[in-house]
Amino acid sequence: MVSDPTAGTPAGAGQDGDGGALDAAETLRLIREQQERARDATGPDGRLLFGAWGLAWLIGYLAMWTTARTAGLPAAWAGWVFAGCIVGAMVFTIVHSVTRTAGVRGVSARIGAMYGWTWFLAFLGLGVLLGAMGRAGAEPEIMAIAANGFAALITGLLYIAGGMLFEEYRMSAVGGWMLVTAVVAAFAGMPHTYLVMALAGGGGFLAMAVVEHVLRRRRRSTSARTEGGVRSA
Amino acid sequence: MPEDLDPVIHAPARLRVVASLAALGRGDELAFPKLRALLDMTAGNLSTHLRKLEDAGYVQVTKTHEGRMPATYLALTDKGRTAFADYQAALMDLLKGAQ
């Protein structure tokens, strides 16, 4: 079945024992659609992950900011709201990524697992570090600046690293933005450091979720248009 | 011209198998049930096409165990990846020729 004598129609239509004839444009469209489906089924959806973290930072840090603005320090309930948001986004990220990548094994699964553990270890390290600073007598304002600045710094660096690992350069761009956020949040001082984290940090993630969504829709409509044009030509 | 199109790939079902596996990174494998669900094919039908792709050296089939359950993983070989790239290039040539 190496060369098929019945295949002689124009525009690449070929007969095959296992299926009907396909023309070149139709075949290319089929390939693109199938690959898009395969990527959706085997990798996390950037829109959902950016969206979850954007909401978590926005709501969590806004709760910290509003109470710190009136009382000087964030209220205990705001701390719980913040912790709940972060834990929620974390659980969502893990469940979503594990579900999507189930059934894939090999290099990317190993890299993905190492990447996930790096996040865990980095923030565990940050928690211990902040604990040590508190024990050494650091003022609440210093603690707040350190917590926000380092959190944004770690997030920024890991996003840049993720962009390099997965060749998703928009991810690196978000990482760069988070480094800017870290610096601005550190200089904003109390209580506005929380507002910077909410708006620049959370807002940055949410903006990226929108960008991902727009790019995705544009990619789909462009490929549909291109092939429509070729087919009618 | 159509004889430029690889007959192993140029069957809709096998084309979708190859396109799906090519969407994975090099060095990645996909579990049989996941591929089957992705393609919406019956297990028997998919097995038949996979055998043809394996015979051509395009797909590597790895049989293993996960716990006590047998598991099958599929990956595109380098030869398969090259054949798929050539196939797409041939299609693009046909498109340019048609315009």
Residue B42 has pLDDT above 90, yes or no: yes
Subunit contact A22:B24, Cβ cutoff 8 A = no
Least Cα separation, residue A164 to chain B (angstroms): 14
Cα A178 to Cα A157: distance, rounded to the nearest angstrom:
8
Across A21-35, A156-170, A196-210, B19-33, least confident range: A21-35
Q: Which of A18, A29, A227 to mutate to test the interface with B (most CBs of B within 10 A)?
A: A18
Of A112, A108, A107, the closest CA to residue A97 belongs to A112
Residue A24 has pLDDT above 90, yes or no: no
User: What average pLDDT does range B20-30 have in this prediction?
Assistant: 93
Least Cα separation, residue B68 to chain A (angstroms): 16
Subunit contact A30:B30, Cβ cutoff 8 A = no
pLDDT of residue A224: 62
Residue A16 has pLDDT above 50, yes or no: no
Q: Does A98 touch chain B (CB under 8 A)?
A: no
Q: Does A5 touch chain B (CB under 8 A)?
A: no
pLDDT tier for residue A22 given thresholds of 50, 70 and 90: low
> Which residues are CB-neighbours of A104 under 8 A, at least 6 positions away?
A42, B24, B28, B29, B30, B31, B34
Subunit contact A3:B15, Cβ cutoff 8 A = no
CB A100 within 8 A of CB A42: yes
pLDDT of residue A222: 67
Residue A7 has pLDDT above 50, yes or no: no
CB A92 within 8 A of CB A84: no
Does B89 reside within a domain?
yes
pLDDT tens string B47-79 = 999 999 999 999 999 999 988 899 999 999 999
Subunit contact B20:A38, Cβ cutoff 8 A = yes
Of B73, B62, B78, B26, the closest CA to residue A104 belongs to B73
Of B24, B75, B91, the CB nearest to A24: B91
- Count contacts between A and B (CB, < 8 Å): 127
User: What average pLDDT does range A217-231 have in this prediction?
Assistant: 63
Number of H helices, E strands in chain A: 8, 1
The domain total for chain B is 1
Of B16, B24, B75, the CB nearest to A42: B24
What ipTM does this complex have?
0.89
Subunit contact A105:B16, Cβ cutoff 8 A = no
pLDDT tier for residue A233 given thresholds of 50, 70 and 90: very low
pLDDT tens string A136-159 = 999 988 999 999 999 999 999 999
Q: Which of A42, A115, A167, A232 to mutate to test the interface with B (most CBs of B within 10 A)?
A: A42
Does B99 reside within a domain?
no
Of A85, A163, A155, the closest CA to residue A123 belongs to A155
Measured between CA atoms, the residue of chain A closest to residue B66 is: A103
Give me the domain span that covers residue B85.
Answer: 2-94
Domain containing B89 — which CATH number?
1.10.10.10
Q: Give residue for tokens 């972060």.
A: A86
